[in-house]
Amino acid sequence: MTEHRSPDAHFRTSLLEENDGPGANPTDNQTMGEIIAARFSRRGFLQGSLAATAIAATVSPLALILADDARANGGSAFTFDEVEAGVDDKHHVAAGYDADVLLRWGDPLFADSPEFDPTKQSAQAQERQFGYNNDYVGYIPLDGSAEHGLLVVNHEYTNPHLMFPGLVTIVEGEAKQAPLSKEQVDVEMAAHGGTIVEIRKVSGKWQVVRDGKLNRRITSNTEMALSGPVAGHDRVKTSADPTGTKAIGTVNNCAGGVTPWGTYVMAEENIHGYFSGELPADHAEAANYKRLGIPEGAYEWAAHYDRFDIGKEPNEPNRFGWIVEVDVNDPTSVPKKRTAMGRFKHEGAESIVAKDGRVVFYLGDDERFDYVYKFVTAGKFNAEDRAANMDLLDDGTLYVAKFAEDGSIEWLPIVFGQGPLTAENGFASQADVLIETRRAADLLGATKMDRPEDIQPNPTTGKVYVMLTNNSKRKTDQVDAANPRAENAFGHIIEIVEDGGDFTAAKGKWEVLLKCGDPSVAEVGATFSTATTANGWFGMPDNCAIDSAGRLWVSTDGQGPKATGRTDGLWAVDTEGEARATSKLFFRVPIGAELCGPLFTPDDQTAFVAVQHPADGGEDWEPFGRPSYYEDLSTRWPDFKPDMPVRPSVVAITKQGGGKIAV
Ligand code: FEO
Ligand code: CA
Ligand code: CA
């Protein structure tokens, strides 16, 4: 989710990652982000949508010629002609490629689904339609095919001011959002969760199989099981579930993963926003909830459902913040919250089979000053017997990362009874340790990072890439080798190599692959290669993917006219040889959107990307002439064109005439 920017705190665009971590800067010093914002803002208003031209003008013609030469000779693994960075209300893909909208919020998923009508929304309709704010995208082949499979997509959160016509009105020049009705809250709950949908490529274009027998919607009301060490613990028992084993629904599913055995895992990230109310005085969960920012109260669900009011149902938040595993082969299967993988603001769960057959999941906790984790299964992956893998995620070891100044990394086991994780510090069992994973990691001395998002192991090179979005609150005296910039407005990417190339190793080495931001502004301190053009640099890395040739692709969240003079997009990043740290822009999204996914099909012929919250925050952009949420949606939808995705949408990128995306 974007960390930003709406001037109106009551719009749910601004807040969920604003919960300050332990090192929040109490001063009102101008941050690096604000200095840069002022710079781009001036350009933006002078140049309008030609911001990219203005940026290019800051680089000398000689530098551009040198950059071109370097790229031609530098051994880049990417040959496409890059897109021009900039800001407008359309998406743009490199020449010679098509970017086709495959699925939009509200699209029918079943034979009996109603067509999308924004003026007639209901929970019943939304439960049969594609959900809102698509984030993680995964592909699970059917019969081993790269052209016929299941697309699995997370629906992270809802923007009611963009969803419900008439919700926002202008009163004396100010935008005011009305309280949501129960029916609108029910639509929101149905718009969360995930979608599993059969898709097929026909004559080079992807199509949704609307009556696919495995098609499924998962929502905030889908019955789930709590499994692993926390299942049945007193701290997860509620009045609706005195056994502590049956959770109701999932929320804020950000990134995720597909396991080697073909299940879909969904990460529950910003869970704090869904809870309101106050705990009873001196309640035992007070410190636990404070560490996660609960309750934050951004959603109005507690007004209609007591389980989101912590005064009435104090244990309900302990049933969120987990990794959820879904067996996509059975649309009636009960999704399982895999508690062994820890409880925090989970961003993603990308995995790899280690040399000895155990499976390693890399996990980010996306908050300023929070941690990088990995989970190693106790059992081994069985490629011959899918059923034998179905409970691998209930037993294993969770580790948190400590990055040392000398370029080494240590993975610290989060195990009850070891080190400080004992009764002396309030832990009576592994269940306690997992429910309060952050506090356990605090006690172990883990390294406080600049918002860890997607973490991706690369099976071709054996390296692991960690996206660190930004951290404007890091003070000069909090800088360390792994988080080397104060007021880190643009984020960075860390590369890890585990000892012996063994993903289960307890130790490894790391280095910074890239410090992001505009390399032509000395104060930013960005480290893109000199072959990177004015279009090729980016800030705020969020999600990433590795294609089957082992190349890194990075998508971003939080750029825009003020922050970087460019919308978010998908960049191809060289990691090997002379071209290391060279980046090229492949695809960019409309104003207001972040880009999620990305995901390559096994044949590398399609890149699926998720365009999340387009038009949100468009008040930054003068050509709109007004904040996007002033717009009357009832007049906007009829104007929708496929090349102007104003609904959250999944886009399929293919090469014209066929072939691999990048050779
Ligand atoms: Fe939902 Fe950390 O992005
Ligand atoms: Ca994200
Ligand atoms: Ca990823």
Distance CA 14, CA 7 (A): 8
Closest CA to 401 of 392, 389, 390, 413: 413
- Any domain includes 301: no
Distance CA 119, CA 109 (A): 19
Taking CA atoms only, the protein residue closest to ligand 1 atom 1 is 1
pLDDT at 489: 97
- Any domain includes 304: no
Strand 323-326 and strand 583-588: the pairing is unpaired
Q: How far is the CA of 311 from the centre of ligand 3 (A)?
A: 37
CB 254 near ligand 1, within 6 Å: yes
Question: Which residues, including other chains, have CB under 8 Å from residue 143's CB and lie 6 or more apart?
Answer: none
- In this structure, what CATH number is given to the domain that contains residue 581? 2.120.10.30
Closest CA to 455 of 446, 467, 441: 467
Distance CA 435, CA 288 (A): 8
Q: How far is the CA of 39 from the centre of ligand 3 (A)?
A: 32
- Report CA-CA distances (Å) from 499 to 65, 352, 460, 509, 627: 41, 15, 16, 7, 51
Structure tokens at 33: 């982000």
Q: How many other C-beta atoms are found inside a 10 Å radius of the C-beta of residue 103?
A: 27
Distance CA 655, CA 658 (A): 5
Structure tokens at 23: 């090192």
Distance CA 457, CA 546 (A): 8
- Residue 198 pairs in a beta bridge with 150
- Any domain includes 307: no
- Any domain includes 401: yes
Which secondary-structure segment (H or E) carries 55? helix 51-56
CB 1 near ligand 1, within 6 Å: yes
Structure tokens at 85: 């960075």
SS (H, E, C) 133-155: CEEEEEEEECCCCCCEEEEEEEE
pLDDT at 73: 43
What residues make up the domain containing 363?
75-269+321-655
pLDDT at 164: 85
Positions in the chain short of pLDDT 70: 1-74, 170, 173-175, 617-646
- Any domain includes 170: yes
The atom number, within ligand 1, closest to the CA of 270 reads: 1
Sequence length of the chain is: 663
Q: How far is the CA of 609 from the centre of ligand 2 (A)?
A: 13
- Any domain includes 442: yes
Residue given tokens 């999600």 in the structure block: 543
- Report CA-CA distances (Å) from 140 to 259, 352, 622: 9, 15, 42
Structure tokens at 51: 């911001």
Distance CA 186, CA 183 (A): 5
pLDDT at 70: 44
pLDDT at 11: 59
Give the side-chain half-sphere CA count within 13 A for 183. 7
In the chain, how long is the greatest CA-to-CA distance? 71
How does DSSP classify residue 73?
H
227 three-class SS: strand
The atom number, within ligand 1, closest to the CA of 469 reads: 2
- Any domain includes 188: yes
pLDDT at 637: 37
- Any domain includes 305: no
CB 16 near ligand 1, within 6 Å: no
- How many domains in the chain? 1
Q: How many other C-beta atoms are found inside a 10 Å radius of the C-beta of residue 387?
A: 9
